[in-house]
Amino acid sequence: MQSVQVKTTDSIYPIIVGENILHELTTILATLEPSKVLLVTDDRVDQLYGDKLLDLLKKNWSTCKYVIENGEASKSFPVFYNIQTYALKEKLDRNSVIIAFGGGVVGDLAGFVAATFMRGIPYIQVPTTLLAHDSAVGGKVAINHPEGKNMIGAFYQPKAVLYDSSFLKSLPKDELRSGFAEVIKHSLIRNETFYHFLNSTIKDLSDLTSERLSDMILEGIKIKADVVSKDEKELGLREILNFGHTLGHAIESQAGYGKISHGDCVAIGMTFAVWLSQKTYHHHLNYDEIVKWFNQIGFPTRIPTSFSSEDLLNKMLSDKKTRSNQIKMILLEKIGVTTSKVFTKEELLTLLEQWREMEEEEIV
């Protein structure tokens, strides 16, 4: 078991990583002395582990459980409203604690409920997916809107993050791949050595052994924790975590949330961002090697042909980080070192079309 601390302006909290450490949750809760605990999870996680965690919690605290449907579609206002209603009916108060037990959807949704219920009550993240090693850290909580991903939300830090890596054993391959996209992102933006390790070691998802996963999770969390500690509310440095996400979120929204996994969308976004970095700064970033590696792992590296570039640009313009009708792209100076550049819609549309035409020619 290992621990990393996240320090923000108003709080310090631990991220505890290890195998079979779920029992540590009782130690964390004991320091909070909750009047009641609300466990929020999804139907898939509930079927596998819900009773185990509920039994653990009920030994010491009055506990209730709310189960959402698995998938991005649950990160919506109606589900958010329903959980708030349930919490009120169960008579949660300001001394109650919410446990977010699941992947990124559960974490974002339950965290936003915690941030807004009675103007904010404590919550703890207990992620169960590889993707959530990223989303559970940093306090960004939100729900989606048809006009954009995570458009309604808050910055609200958890009291702790407990990452029991044993949950990863039950992950389907597509979810494992989706989470691995964020691991790759962390290496590309912050740690060249880590990137070369991943590139040389992980040629297929079967190469993601338990030991390697634990090391990758810890390294990714350290990178995320360091960035969040220096810029809690995305006023500067934290923007680098959006590498691959500006286009990725647009594809995700255009497809309809849940139709293409978050990680696959981010992989396409990172592919474009690497190409755009090379073209803009004339630095050699081994674009072809990255595309080949992504394809080998199973990531898509091209935008679906049915999606128009114009529609995607309009989605990108509605992104929270867009200013004055211009789009800021997080790019790479080199592997492990980021920069950014602002493009007008027309400039980026031309470049996106150029990239797509080049990729289509490669197919032919």
* Among candidate residues 151, 170, 189, the one where a domain is terminated: 170
CATH code, 243: 1.20.1090.10
Q: Tell me the two tokens of residue 353.
A: 């079309």
The rounded distance, in Å, linking the Cα atoms of 102 and 46 is 9
Please identify every residue annotated as catalytic. Answer: 119, 140, 182, 224, 234, 238, 242, 245, 249, 262
- DSSP conformation class of 118: G
149 is in an annotated binding site: yes
Q: Residue 52 maps to which CATH number?
A: 3.40.50.1970
Contact between 254 and 202 under an 8 Å Cβ cutoff? The reply is no
Phi and psi at residue 41, in whole multiples of 5°? -145, 180
Q: Count how many domains the chain has.
A: 2
One domain for residues 161 and 233:
no
Q: What does the pLDDT profile of the chain (364 residues) look like in tens digits?
A: 888 888 888 889 999 999 899 999 999 999 999 999 999 999 999 999 999 999 999 999 999 999 999 999 999 999 999 999 999 999 999 999 999 999 999 999 999 999 999 999 999 999 999 988 888 888 999 999 888 888 899 999 999 999 998 898 888 899 999 999 999 999 999 999 999 999 999 999 999 888 888 888 889 888 888 888 888 777 678 899 999 999 999 999 899 877 899 999 999 999 999 999 999 998 889 999 999 999 999 999 999 999 999 999 999 988 766 676 789 999 999 999 999 999 999 999 999 999 999 877 665 4
Q: Assess whether 50 and 83 both reside in one domain.
A: yes
Pick the closest to residue 25 from 97, 91, 131 (CA basis).
Answer: 97
59 is in an annotated binding site: no
Q: Please check whether residues 59 and 166 belong to one and the same domain.
A: yes
Instruction: Say yes or no: 348 and 221 in one domain.
Output: yes
* Same domain membership, residue 181 and residue 97: no
Closest CA to 190 of 179, 198, 200: 198
Same domain, 166 and 177: no
Task: Look up residue 162 and give its two tokens.
Answer: 């407990």
Do 53 and 39 meet the contact criterion of CB atoms below 8 Å apart? yes
Q: Which residues lie across from 258 on neighbouring strands?
A: none
Question: What does the alpha-carbon distance between residue 28 and residue 161 come to, in Å, rounded to a whole number?
Answer: 10
Alpha carbon dihedral 267, 250, 318, 231, in 10-degree steps, equals: -20
Task: Quote the domain boundaries for residue 40.
Answer: 2-170
User: Binding site annotation covers 129?
Assistant: yes
Closest CA to 185 of 198, 200, 204, 170: 198
Nearest to 139 by CA among 100, 118, 171, 108: 108
The answer to whether 69 is annotated as binding is: no
**φ and ψ at 115, to 5 degrees?**
-65, -25
